[in-house]
């Protein structure tokens, strides 16, 4: 029996640059009929916006941030520590974007096969009138329902 080393470059996504994964995501979205695909970044937040099936979608992603050590060391340790942090951030970003590309592929494949609709696969990210997404609107409602133990009341605004 052959085993796959989960630390291999391919399975970790290390061999895919952030740019290559983003290009893959854009090509996949456009290939599935999406238009106006845009990427933006502010700090550790990244957003992908696109239009498809008469809807606008916006996915906001927060890249994982490495833990910062506050321990004081000599200057050489601090420099090598910063270099290691930069390398770790790069590897984490590569893995993150590769995983997001795979997730996007899976969602688009489900929609293409008729297993789901594009809207149901990306429902949390549908932009509503007022420029908020479904998840922006529902997260506080869901949190409140869990706190209270009561089923939330969802009503359409007049």
In tens, the pLDDT along 145-156 reads 999 999 988 776
In this structure, is residue 111 part of a structural domain?
yes
Q: 40 pairs with which residues across the strands?
A: 47
DSSP code string of 3-42: ---TTSHHHHTTTS-HHHHHHHHHHHHHHTT-EEEEEEEE
99 within domain boundaries: yes
Q: How far apart, in whole angstroms, are the C-alpha atoms of residue 97 and residue 86? A: 16
pLDDT score of 60 more than 80: yes
Q: Which residues of 17-38 are buried (b: 16+ CB within 10 A; e: fewer)?
A: ebeebbebbbebbeebebeebe
Mean pLDDT over 134-143 rounds to: 94
pLDDT at residue 116 tops 50: yes
> Range with the lowest mean pLDDT among 19-28, 30-39, 88-97, 130-139?
88-97
Q: Are 53 and 118 in contact (CB under 8 A)?
A: yes
Judge whether residue 5 has pLDDT over 60: no
Instruction: Look at residue 153 and tell me if it is in a domain.
Output: no
Q: How confident is the model at residue 44 (pLDDT cuts 50, 70, 90)?
A: confident
Q: Is residue 4 part of a domain?
A: no
Sign of CA dihedral 47, 48, 49, 55: negative
**158 part of a folded domain:** no
The answer to the question of residue 154 being in a domain is no
Residue 80: inside a domain, yes or no? yes
- Look at residue 105 and tell me if it is in a domain: yes
What does DSSP say about strands 45-52 and 55-62: parallel, antiparallel, or unpaired? Answer: antiparallel
Burial of 100 (0-12, 13-18, 19+ CB in 10 A): buried
Q: Give the residue-averaged pLDDT of 112-122.
A: 96
- What pLDDT is attached to residue 1? 43
Range of the domain at 104: 10-148
State yes or no: pLDDT of 143 exceeds 50: yes
What local confidence, expressed as pLDDT, does residue 14 receive? 67
Counting the structural domains of the chain, the total is: 1
Check residue 123 and report its DSSP letter.
G
């Amino acid at each position: 029996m052959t085993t796959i080393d989960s630390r291999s470059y391919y399975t970790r996504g290390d061999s895919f640059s952030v740019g290559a994964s983003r290009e893959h995501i854009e090509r996949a979205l456009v290939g599935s009929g999406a238009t106006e695909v845009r990427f933006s970044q502010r700090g550790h937040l990244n957003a992908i916006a696109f239009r498809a099936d008469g809807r606008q979608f916006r996915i906001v992603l927060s890249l994982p941030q490495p833990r910062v050590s506050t321990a004081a060391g000599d200057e050489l340790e601090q420099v090598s520590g910063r270099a290691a942090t930069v390398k770790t951030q790069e590897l984490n970003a590569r893995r993150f974007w590769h995983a997001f590309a795979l997730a996007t592929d899976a969602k688009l494949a489900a929609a293409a096969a008729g297993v789901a609709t594009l809207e149901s696969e990306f429902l949390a990210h549908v932009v509503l009138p007022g420029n908020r997404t479904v998840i922006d609107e529902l997260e506080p409602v869901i949190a409140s329902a869990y706190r209270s133990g009561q089923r939330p009341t969802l009503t359409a605004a007049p």
